[in-house]
Amino acid sequence: MKKYFAAAALLAAAVACGNRNDLPLEGTYWKLSSMAGIPSEAIAVSDDAFTLRFDASEAMVNGRTNCNGFFGGYAVKGGSLEFSDMGMTRMACPDMEYEQLFVEMLDAVDGYSIEGSKLVLSDDGEVVAVFQATDEPKAE
């Protein structure tokens, strides 16, 4: 009996070490955690600022900048990611330069990886933004 328990414990440990439990791109609520040009206090301005949500059933992405909502298509193939036909609301807000940087980053993205609960977006192999999986904010 002890041999079976030891073997089961060893197998469970080996499986746990080999499985990073990466979250899926689709169906996960992603919140920006770092990006050049956008200070952490601007990212933290609200729970829904600088977010992404991917819907595989429609191949659509939506989210928010620090001011406006956006939406569009996306395509994934292997580690490549491309956004297309993007649109957004057009409210004027303070710190619009951060929104502009965020939108330009999305336009330049050509790759991604998921590392556990982090979504890493890249352009020509260089990291341009890192997102953290988080709970979707409750509607008020």
What does the pLDDT profile of the chain (140 residues) look like in tens digits?
A: 444 434 333 334 333 444 457 899 999 999 999 999 999 999 999 999 999 999 999 999 999 999 999 999 999 999 999 999 999 999 999 999 999 999 999 999 999 999 999 999 999 999 999 999 999 887 65
Nearest to 97 by CA among 24, 22, 38: 38
Please report the domains of the chain, with CATH numbers, ordered by start residue.
21-133 (2.40.128.270)
* Max CA pair span of the chain: 69
Distances (CA, A) of 16 to 9, 11, 21, 24, 133: 11, 9, 9, 18, 21
Secondary structure of 30-67 in HEC code, one letter for each residue: EEEEEECCECHHHHCCCCCCCEEEEECCCCEEEEECCC
pTM of this structure: 0.82
Instruction: Decide: 115 and 83 in contact? Cβ < 8 Å.
Output: no
The answer to whether the CB of 130 falls within 8 A of the CB of 119 is yes
**Which amino acid type is present at position 99?**
E
